[in-house]
Amino acid sequence: MEQLVLASEALASGAVTRHQLRSEYDKLHRDVYAPRGLELTARHRAIAGWLWSRREAVLVGNSAAALLGTKWISADEPAELGRSRFTSARDIVVRSGAIAPDELCTARGIPCTTAPRTAYDVGRTMLPDKSIVRIDALLNATRHDVADVEAIAGRYPKARGIRRLRAALALADGGAESPPETRLRLLLVRSGLPRPTTQIPVADDHGRIVRRIDMGWPEWMVGVEYDGAQHFTGPDDYAADIERLEFLAHRGWLIVRVGGRHMRAPGVVAERARRALLSRGWSPRLQKMTEIS
C-alpha cells in the first residue's frame, strides 16, 4: 500500500523481520510503519490513517482529496477519517456525520468520499480562503463543478458550517490550475471587478484551440495571466512565453501579467486590471446596473 505496512501483518507473513522493522522503518501510528527515508506526502498520510483504522474507516476531507489526486495538500495535514469506531489520535482526526451510500467511492482500492462530498466537507471545516483554494484544486483534479457540490449541500441544509461552505462555493472555480491563480481571481473579484472566466480557449486562424488564458473577460478581450516560476526556467521557456504573448495580441487580447511579487500589492494589481478593462470599453456603472437588475 504505497510502501506503508501494518507491522502485525508484515511480521506474521514474514515480509519483514523485527530487526528490519526497527532499523529500516519509522513508526507513523500504532502498528503503521513507513520505510525510513520515504518522503511522506498527503496521500501517504491519508493511507496511513486508513491502515491505522484496520482498514475499517472511510477517508474524508483533505485525506479523500489527496487520494482523489488533489494537488498542493501539505504532508503535515492530519489524516481525516469517517465512519470509524475509533476516536481521534495524534495526526488523525475522526469526523462524525452521516455519509450517504452514493457519496462514497473507491480510489486506489481505498474507500473515500466522492469529490462533491469531499468538497462539501472541506468547505465546512476549513477557513474560507483556504477552503476555496482546496475546493478549486479538488474540482480541477476530478473535473467536477460547483453545481455537483451544491447538490450535496442541498441534502444537509442544517449541517454545521453550511453557511461557510455556501460562501466558499460562491467564489470557487475548478478552472484554477494553482493556488496563486485562485488567490489572484479572489483579489480581482473582491476589488469590485467583474468575475473573470477561467481557462479561456483561444483559437488560431484556422479555428483550432491552441492556447488558454488563465482568466479574463472574453467580452472585453482582456486576460489576466499568473506567471509562476515555470515561465523563467530557461531561454527556451522565455522565448515560448514571448511567442505566446505575441499570438494572443495578434488575436486581439490585452494581457495583464501578474507575478508573485505583484501579489504583495493587491491594490496595484486590481488597478492594472481595471485600467485594461476600461481601455476595452468596460463600464463600472453598467456593471452595477446589471447587478441590480
Q: Where are the domains of the chain?
A: 5-169, 179-292
For residue 18, what are the contacts with CB-CB under 8 A and spacing of at least 6? 11
Name the CATH topology of 179-292: Endonuclease; Chain A (3.40.960)
Query: 5-6 and 79-82 as β-strands: parallel, antiparallel, unpaired?
Result: unpaired
Distance between terminal CA atoms of the chain? Answer: 55
Its pTM stands at 0.92
Predicted local confidence at residue 27, as pLDDT: 98
Phi-psi sector, 9: left (phi>0), alpha (psi -120 to 50), beta: alpha
As given in the structure block, the three cell numbers for residue 87 are 476516536
Predicted local confidence at residue 287, as pLDDT: 72
The SS3 call for residue 167 is: helix
Q: Which pairs with CB-CB distance under 8 Å and at least 24 residues apart come from 134-137? A: 134/62, 134/65, 134/70, 134/73, 135/168, 135/169, 135/172, 135/174, 136/172, 136/173, 136/174, 136/175, 136/176, 136/179, 136/181, 136/182, 137/65, 137/70, 137/71, 137/72, 137/73, 137/176, 137/179, 137/182
C-beta of residue 82 within 8 angstroms of C-beta of residue 94: yes
Locus of grid cell 492594472: 272
The SS3 call for residue 73 is: coil
The residue type at 276: A
For residue 292, what are the contacts with CB-CB under 8 A and spacing of at least 6? none
**pLDDT tens sequence for the chain (293 residues):** 569 999 999 999 999 999 999 999 999 999 999 999 999 999 999 999 999 999 999 999 999 999 999 999 999 999 999 998 889 999 999 999 999 999 999 999 999 999 999 999 999 999 999 999 999 999 999 999 999 999 999 999 999 999 999 999 999 999 999 999 999 999 999 999 999 999 999 999 999 999 999 999 999 999 999 998 655 566 777 788 889 999 999 999 999 999 999 999 999 999 999 999 999 999 998 776 566 55
* CA angle in degrees (0–180, nearest 5) for 77-93-160: 105
Predicted local confidence at residue 240, as pLDDT: 84
d(CA 286, CA 290): 6
d(CA 237, CA 231): 6
